Structure 1
Amino acid sequence: MSEPRILVLDEGTTSTRAMLYAPDGRRLGMAQAELAQHYPQPGWVEHDAAEIWEKSLACARDMVALAGGADHVAAIGITNQRETVVAWDRRTGEPLAPAIVWQDRRTADHCAALRQAGEEDAIQRRTGLVLDPYFSATKMRWLLDHAPAVAAAGDALAFGTVESWLVWKLTGGLHVSDASNASRTQLMALDGTEWDRGLCDLFGVPPRALPEICDNIGAFGETRAEWFGRPIAIRGLMGDQQAATIGQGCLTPGDAKATLGTGAFVLANMGSNVPVSRHRLLGTLLCRLPGETSYALEGSLFVAGSLIQWLRDELGLIATAEETEALARSMPDSGGVTMLPALAGLGAPHWRAEAKGMIHGLTLGTKRAHIVRAALESLSHQLHDLSGAFAADGVPWRVLRVDGGMSANDWIAQDLADILNLPVDRPADVETTAKGAAMLAAVGGGLFPSLREAASAMGAGTRRFAPALPGDRRAARLEGWRTLLAVSAFSPV
């Protein structure tokens, strides 16, 4: 084999991608296909799992061809949208119902009933997660209660998050879930290694339908020869936000990153300390290797890039996401317009599943650019709320490392530095989710002995954005945000 290549499948919310990497971290190519978003009822978000598989396979084949064939691919790493639930038939390998996406809010009443029954504190102590439709367990129960084919499947039923689904299809029947994804289901205790029987009973999910939980680096079978001409080993699995944390080189306790994709997700490395939040943040498993488990404190925002997509596709205010930067720069401020981007409820630290989006402060003088700028500003406002919660939990951000598609916008990166009042670092390659999966696969494939050595070899330079906004203007922005929260029918925590 010539210089080995690493193939990454990065299965996101709005698209699926395959990327090809060299061992020095260079991204050699990318194939991408958009995924259809289905909204059958208000608050419901679904994907077609068959479409996810077919488009992931097509993109992967393009990258294997770019590598010169399967003989030149040392290993595959997979990273995925977390919490999304797929149900399929073990006998046929076909989906039994539409996949319920992490953004979906249909189980809000189930979560509220568990909360009213006094279960939330115990669930958060065991899993690190608050009761919210975001997580997988109530989605699985909903499918059992409302999807006839799922209810009738019996022992043939297989549940999994998206990495489980892709591994099953690639290998022809291996049913596994890596520990980072398993920790997001609310069915695994944060300090555990297997599915928790008590949690499965509480949520009404049969353990026999769940995959085997495995480490993030290991031997996860090989692809069927028919997919790429010969088998390729799968060696790394990790949820997208944990993978971005690894890809950003956040390997030391206290390191923090924010991925600005469909949603926005901040993770701070907590090392071997199991995180306990008193300010509505999440404890999550960061990475599990043989004999070594690391954890993270997480704040999750449900709407970030999807807000820009909404401005484009539903309101028609922009033609492309890229033009938002020029529009934001065309105005000295938002003209008094503020936006609450609660299009899928509000995530951390508020956790208001019932919240709805708002645009406040419109006048006859409001222009398109004001609304677009207010949308971008709302990201900084939400992240400022998160920064306060992290600090109150004893993990203040010293520097925030940003990645994901929205971070490529220089205006956004600078606005974050201004409102957070701290340096913001952006890597040369903002696709750090895929980079993290490549690092895992490179270690699993024997190209590096450890993640630290992989990070050192595969890392890239960064650009720093320093705070520059005068204090009075920063204070005025934050006061406008607090006013918006006050008029949006709930009191901020």
Structure 2
Amino acid sequence: MSDFRVPLADALDPLVLALDVGSTASRGGLYDAAGRPVLQHRHKVPHQFTTATDGTSTIDPDQVVAEVEEIVTALARPELTGRIAGVALDTFASSLVGVGPDGRALTPCFTYADSRCAAQVVALRAELDEREVQQRTGTRLHSSYLAARFRWLRETAPSTFAAVERWMSLGEYVHLRLLGTTAVGTSTAAWTGLLDRRTGAWDPGMLEVGGVGAEQLSEIRTPDRPLEAESRWPALRGARWFPVITDGLASNLGIGADDPSTVAVAAATSGAMRVLVSEVPDVLPPGLWCYRVDATRSLLGGALNDVGRAATWLEENVRLDGTDLGRVLTAEPDPGTPSVLPYFSGERSTGWAAGARALLAGVSAATTGPMLFRGTMEGVALSYARVAAQLQQVAGRTQRILASGRVTQDLPDWLQVLADALGAPVVPVTIKRSTLHGTALLALDTVAPGVERAPVDVGPTHQPVPARAAYYADRAARYEDLYRAVVAGG
């Protein structure tokens, strides 16, 4: 395998500074014009969401501003003056910050996993034709989107809601604090659930539902339209700052899933399965979203709240006693393995049950910690398979499945479980920080359009084992039975 990274002395100008605000950390790195990470030019600041049993999932937006400021200061060194042509930022999707007239946050940043507006989701589903909303905006009515969150805030914190002058994503707020101006990238706007997926403008009907005006939201910009701003860092003088994009779009681009023939499987704290299509699909299956990402392309797929989060829960709460987890995941399937619906923080695709919680079935006195681990990770794989079935209805059977993310690196043997559950080959992308890489590539399309990009490194393909097909078909049927009985019927 080649070393994808490059020393600064060999880096091709212009350079791009890429920034990523994820669920567990803020990160930054320098990339050269070929899209290669520059050795010894990266920085990371860990963080975590504030969570509670009532569904709270927030982070302090000013803390994130300070993290990004630290990263930029560490990487935009004086000796790089004149070499950095662009600064690009992605964040986790579906974030919300209320900002006052002084440009300061009046609320915490509500993350995609904050499910306290579940009751408002139920109310909206009774008031609106959810199918029609999905076809118009590309999103279902769910706690991770903003219509229900706005209503929840209006009902539970009316004085704060009234005091907010502008509503913005976390990335927009970072730009506002660092640059004094902001705008929202098309993909970030789409992830709010408030964008008309066909016109690329704010949807008047959903704004009315949320009780906000278009003047309270930022200007929408496609990824190739930088902000008109200069920063205080001398090394970034003349560099163009690009509107914030979502980590989902960045992840697809970063692993090479940038056309309709390739599906991306992202497996980090949360997860997703996505394909970038060049046309706006006419009709969407009920379990998927479709986010407009620029003037011509849309990202079609489904998201899972709990992938790495499920693995972490197991490692922290189940007695595994130094078990070789790789052997557990590569072992032949065992019919005695518990069936698990892995909804530790609610469900997004395909059923959009925000209040769903994990379900463990088939647990007996003979069930061991490793068996529970295997069952949970099978459940995660089957959650992806449910998304894949609906993707195929729109995009057809794609030629390639690329997988990336922390879980694919920490638990590489899980990819065999995924291949068996999907009944399709899975190719791991082995570069690190693929989301950062994608964010850099999108900026390079504008600042270095004529430079050939370096291909990413991939590992050996995981082929599905035909003899396991019947086992996973049975597991999928059990999953659906449990889902209908407990989640859909609850």
**TM-score normalised by L of structure 2:** 0.88
Map of 1:195-214 to 2, 5 A cutoff? 195-214=202-221
Distance 2:367 2:75 in 1: 46
DSSP-derived class of the 1:225 partner? coil
**1:130 alignment partner AA:** R
The equivalent of 2:5 in structure 1 is: none
- 1:425 lines up with 2:427 in the alignment: yes
Moved more, 340-349 or 221-230: 221-230
DSSP-derived class of the 1:62 partner? helix
The equivalent of 1:311 in structure 2 is: 314
The equivalent of 1:373 in structure 2 is: 374
Map of 1:30-109 to 2, 5 A cutoff? 30-65=42-77, 68-91=79-102, 93-109=103-119
The equivalent of 2:353 in structure 1 is: 352
For residues 358-399 of structure 1, what are the alpha-carbon distances to aligned partners after superposition, in whole Å with 9 as ceiling and x for unaligned? 222223332222222222222211111112112233533332
Q: CA deviation at 1:179?
A: 0.6
- 1:238 lines up with 2:245 in the alignment: yes
Contact 2:272 2:302 in 1 (8 A): yes
Distance 1:89 1:228 in 2: 31
- Shift in alpha-carbon separation, 1:317–1:90, aligned structure 2, 3 A: farther
The equivalent of 1:258 in structure 2 is: 265
Contact 1:399 1:423 in 2 (8 A): yes
- 1:477 lines up with 2:488 in the alignment: no
- 1:389 lines up with 2:399 in the alignment: no
Map of 1:137-286 to 2, 5 A cutoff? 137-147=147-157, 150-153=160-163, 157-172=165-180, 174-225=181-232, 230=237, 232-235=239-242, 237-285=244-292
- Shift in alpha-carbon separation, 1:482–1:42, aligned structure 2, 3 A: farther
**1:253 alignment partner AA:** P
Distance 1:31 1:56 in 2: 10
Contact 1:266 1:300 in 2 (8 A): yes
**1:177 alignment partner AA:** V
Distance 1:175 1:269 in 2: 26
**2:231 alignment partner AA:** R
- Shift in alpha-carbon separation, 1:49–1:247, aligned structure 2, 3 A: same
- Shift in alpha-carbon separation, 1:359–1:30, aligned structure 2, 3 A: farther
DSSP-derived class of the 2:413 partner? helix
Distance 2:430 2:86 in 1: 24
DSSP-derived class of the 2:311 partner? helix
The equivalent of 2:459 in structure 1 is: 463
DSSP-derived class of the 2:75 partner? helix
Q: CA deviation at 1:334?
A: 7.9
DSSP-derived class of the 1:465 partner? coil
Distance 2:205 2:243 in 1: 29
For residues 81-106 of structure 1, what are the alpha-carbon distances to aligned partners after superposition, in whole Å with 9 as ceiling and x for unaligned? 01111112241x32111111101111
The equivalent of 1:15 in structure 2 is: 25
Q: CA deviation at 1:318?
A: 6.5
For residues 194-225 of structure 1, what are the alpha-carbon distances to aligned partners after superposition, in whole Å with 9 as ceiling and x for unaligned? 22222211221222211110111222133531
- Shift in alpha-carbon separation, 1:20–1:387, aligned structure 2, 3 A: same
- Shift in alpha-carbon separation, 1:323–1:133, aligned structure 2, 3 A: farther
- Shift in alpha-carbon separation, 1:474–1:167, aligned structure 2, 3 A: same
**TM-score normalised by L of structure 1:** 0.88
Contact 2:172 2:244 in 1 (8 A): no
Moved more, 23-32 or 199-208: 23-32
- Shift in alpha-carbon separation, 1:325–1:214, aligned structure 2, 3 A: same
**Unaligned segments of structure 1, at least 5 residues:** none
Distance 1:263 1:54 in 2: 24
Distance 1:327 1:86 in 2: 42
The equivalent of 2:4 in structure 1 is: none
Contact 1:413 1:465 in 2 (8 A): no
Moved more, 479-488 or 25-34: 479-488
- Shift in alpha-carbon separation, 1:362–1:468, aligned structure 2, 3 A: same
Give 1:301's match in structure 2, choosing from 304, 326, 329.
Answer: 304
Distance 1:58 1:334 in 2: 51
DSSP-derived class of the 1:265 partner? strand
Contact 1:273 1:295 in 2 (8 A): yes
Q: CA deviation at 1:148?
A: 5.5
**1:414 alignment partner AA:** Q
Contact 1:403 1:431 in 2 (8 A): no
Contact 1:334 1:371 in 2 (8 A): no
DSSP-derived class of the 2:122 partner? helix
Q: CA deviation at 1:330?
A: 7.1
For residues 306-333 of structure 1, what are the alpha-carbon distances to aligned partners after superposition, in whole Å with 9 as ceiling and x for unaligned? 11222244x165699x974355357864
- Give me the identity figure in percent: 21
Contact 1:333 1:373 in 2 (8 A): no
